[in-house]
Chain A
């Protein structure tokens, strides 16, 4: 999951504003760097045949990555994961500034931010690009109009936050609704806390 941040951000700030290479990029999110999960894997046996961990944002503690521990049958682990995944659904309304209709998405259907944003892109716009800037913010840009949108969400406390700040699972739990806010308005939101 490599991200060519520098080039794309420089390109995007150019007058043309478009960089189709960006559509090939996938996002890496704060707190979920693949390098940390690599070191976790090294601590476990190199013959780790167990399944990929569920795509949580919080890297599991090294102890939890020991092969065959805890001693629970794979069958049970899979069944639980499947049961948990299929039975819960969390639909939230998605509003896009300037669009006349609201849509709904099921947050439980996605394993992470990448997939959610890709789905938003599909649902709302035909020519969106997802861009990741130097300061790791996520933006969707309407290729046709050049308008930048920043995905935000309302949390359980009623505050509007930038999407991508917290681990995925926590986000799913706390998110009440989504709003793709125009960048120009998003300056009022609190800047992302340094990690």
Chain B
């Protein structure tokens, strides 16, 4: 009795359901569903075994019916016709996670078809990883689409303008193939007014638009959205570069518009109880600030400027016991010396806020001792981003690199998914990261490391790494080419001002045809040659990503795709 597709189908169903129970697990809805699923699985298993036996008896030998052939015969014989498609689709509806849905799609063609036609939400982490038309064709009934464009370092002006990330092709493809679209979320993309106009006219049930760190549009585009999206309930614009052509667009919402529930185009967002964003308020008096915060005992998320000072953070630590996310931004970028927050504030927070799991902390100084203490106090970090403003600055007490401090973080925080490191760091910190940060998905490196070994530790050790972004670090071709298969498991790699040469990139391109190797040079190659006096020219900026779409056709002339 073979382990045919019938068996594998039920196996996957059980697996997927178990996973979704672990992931979902909230509310009675899933509980009921889980019990329901168990009944199906029992029936499924029995019928699998039965039909498997029957097949063997008929032919007298092991026959594994091929489910991959799309002939009608398969549909007639396969176990899944025991259940109508609607039932299978209903079972799939308990698998909201995209990863699980991708998995069930792989089992057989029937499941692929059922899954794709019932997929409601699609997330595209890199707009150049797949063609927009292909997504629209595969998922015609999608209701919520999320697309991300430029790499993260574009936030800090490291990606030249006109690099790409155009929303147009996505909106056009959706307009052609996915008219039921209700929600669109875009991050770091270039969106034109024409695209917004098309969006506003193409989807009769459209209700939610979220644009984060996008550019290329004006308030005219917003006017189109306001005018034509009759069911709009959410318009969320965060940190976009919008050309302001006046407030007229606000009056474009029709008088009869009763649907708008959430409108956010200011910097402040979130309720006071759940979250407080004071990171755009530099003139708030420090004592007023701390008085206010000391009353926010239910605060879960706090964004502030560093003028809150260590004292202020101590108040936060003693008042906000539910705090989960803290971001402390620098208020004066160019003046060193006077440090508003130090390692002491961070230690105080770690002592007082045991639920803290997400941190972004800008400061002028740090010590290993403080980081080790923080790691012990807060082992629940999932996101830990520390930015010491002076690049390469050592432990301010011992003058040592901060390897041990960050080492403690990755060792204690077993669930760490995102990490940004700074200060003086040697290859040792990368050894720790590769050894301990097994759940790490995103790593940001700047001005760190001694040699290729550093990057190699990360590439070889971090099994779940998806995004790696590096700037101004001494990693070269050996590191780039040390584990080429790894890039297929990652979304992207960014390297700027490192020691990678064009030759190294070419070798990578030849070994890995499923990657796009983008070499971004903003000035002529000949300038590079002169400066290097015959040495191999170093690549200024490198962006590597896996893709099924091949080289993109909208690249500007300063981007070379190998």
Contact = CB atoms under 8 A, between A and B. Distances in A.
B161 A49 contact: yes
Contact of A76 (B281, B329, B336, B391): B329
A71 B156 contact: yes
Contacts of B155: 71, 73-74
A88 interface: yes
Chain B: interface secondary structure? loop
A66 B391 contact: yes
Question: How many A residues touch the partner, as a band?
Answer: 20 to 34
B239 A70 contact: no
A68 interface: yes
A72 interface: yes
Interface string A42-59: 000011011001101010
B554 interface: no
B155 to A, nearest CB: 5
A108 B334 CA distance: 19
A69 B471 CA distance: 10
A63 B390 contact: yes
Interface stretch (A20-28, A79-87, A154-162): A79-87
Given A71-B155, A73-B156, A80 B334 contact: no
A102 interface: no
A147 B213 CA distance: 56
Interface string B213-225: 1000000000000
B209 to A, nearest CB: 18
B330 A87 contact: no
Contacts, number: 81
Contacts of B523: 46-47
B479 to A, nearest CB: 21
A157 B207 CA distance: 61
Interface in B258-303: 267, 279-283
A71 B446 contact: yes
Given A79-B280, A84-B282, A70 B267 contact: no
Given A60-B334, A77-B333, A71 B387 contact: yes
A61 interface: yes
A73 B327 CA distance: 14
B157 A68 contact: yes
Contacts of A50: 157
A101 interface: no
B71 to A, nearest CB: 55
A58 B335 contact: yes
B464 interface: no
A49 B162 CA distance: 13
B362 interface: yes
A67 to B, nearest CB: 6
Contact of A49 (B157, B305, B333, B389): B157
Central interface residue in A67, A69, A75, A88, by most chain B CB within 10 Å: A69
A49 B334 contact: no
Nearest to B161: A49
25 contacts: A46-B523, A50-B157, A60-B335, A66-B391, A67-B157, A69-B446, A70-B333, A70-B362, A71-B446, A72-B329, A72-B330, A72-B362, A73-B213, A73-B239, A74-B155, A75-B239, A76-B239, A77-B333, A80-B280, A80-B305, A83-B282, A84-B282, A84-B283, A87-B283, A88-B283
Interface of A: 46-47, 49-50, 53-54, 56, 58, 60-61, 63-64, 66-77, 79-80, 83-84, 87-88
Given A75-B241, A76-B329, A87-B283, 5 more contacts: A47-B522, A54-B334, A63-B391, A71-B387, A73-B239
